[in-house]
Amino acid sequence: MFSIAGIDLLEQELLDHERTLLEILLQDKTTKKNIIWATDDYAELGEPYSFKKEILPELVTGEQDSLIQPRVEKALEHQTNRTRDKAEVFTPSWICNAQNNLVDEQWFGRKDVFNIQKEMSWKATADKIAFPDDRQHTWQKYVDAQRLEISCGEAPYLVSRYDTVMGETIPISQRIGLLDRKLRVVSENTDTEEQIELCPGCKKMAA
């Protein structure tokens, strides 16, 4: 199973357990090719790591398994350079949560659906998510609803594996990303076999 000792997701473990998932994560949905490095930070490793080259599985696994690091684990100087040169923006997890809560407040017509935020922290609600009593706001409609994060980077509005301020892993039950919320809804409304059907490859990864 994947390493939980730190917040870094090891590409080699993805490759070992589910190569298809790693390939999906590296795919550019617009060009249908792989995403490019878009930086020369790794160019010293050779031509395949230069700015316009595609990121291939073999370039981030094996000896280079720890090459790509979460932003919080990068040196402060490197973070500053990326902010200056790439306009990379740092957004604290609690702000992501507050803004995602506003999205859900509009959809559900009420506050504090998934969690209750207090200043710079939050606590997940304990009860099963209740949906409005109409056909346009079922749990299936919520899962199917399209959500777009217009920024790039680690997509903190979509998934929240770790707290971007503290650098600590966020327990699954407390995660606040838009995808995290959908997964919670699925888990609350389906049994294990249905969840596996909705997530091809989950059975193999859970083994």
Whole-angstrom Cα distance, residue 19 to residue 142?
A: 29
Is 59 in the same domain as 115?
A: no
Kindly give the interhelix angle for 178-189 and 93-108, rounded to the nearest 10 degrees: 50
In this prediction, residue 87 carries a pLDDT of 55
Q: Which residues of the chain have pLDDT under 50?
A: 1-5, 77, 200-207
In this prediction, residue 201 carries a pLDDT of 42
Is 97 in the same domain as 63?
A: no
Q: How many domains does the chain have?
A: 2
In this prediction, residue 121 carries a pLDDT of 94
Is 175 in the same domain as 105?
A: yes
Is 115 in the same domain as 194?
A: yes
Whole-angstrom Cα distance, residue 39 to residue 83?
A: 13
- Dihedral sign, Cα of residue 191, residue 193, residue 196, residue 197: negative
Is 101 in the same domain as 202?
A: yes
pLDDT, tens only, 84-113: 555 566 789 999 999 999 999 999 999 999
Whole-angstrom Cα distance, residue 206 to residue 193?
A: 13
**Does residue 85 sit within a domain?**
no
Residues paired with 27 in a beta bridge: 34
Q: Which domain holds residue 35?
A: 11-68
- Dihedral sign, Cα of residue 56, residue 57, residue 61, residue 67: positive
Is 121 in the same domain as 157?
A: yes
**Does residue 74 sit within a domain?**
no
Whole-angstrom Cα distance, residue 161 to residue 155?
A: 10
In this prediction, residue 82 carries a pLDDT of 55
Is 172 in the same domain as 106?
A: yes
Whole-angstrom Cα distance, residue 180 to residue 165?
A: 19
Is 104 in the same domain as 20?
A: no
For the chain, give percent helix, strand, coil, nearest 5.
45, 5, 50
In this prediction, residue 161 carries a pLDDT of 87
**Does residue 5 sit within a domain?**
no
In this prediction, residue 15 carries a pLDDT of 76
Is 144 in the same domain as 53?
A: no
pTM: 0.70
Is 32 in the same domain as 102?
A: no
In this prediction, residue 1 carries a pLDDT of 38
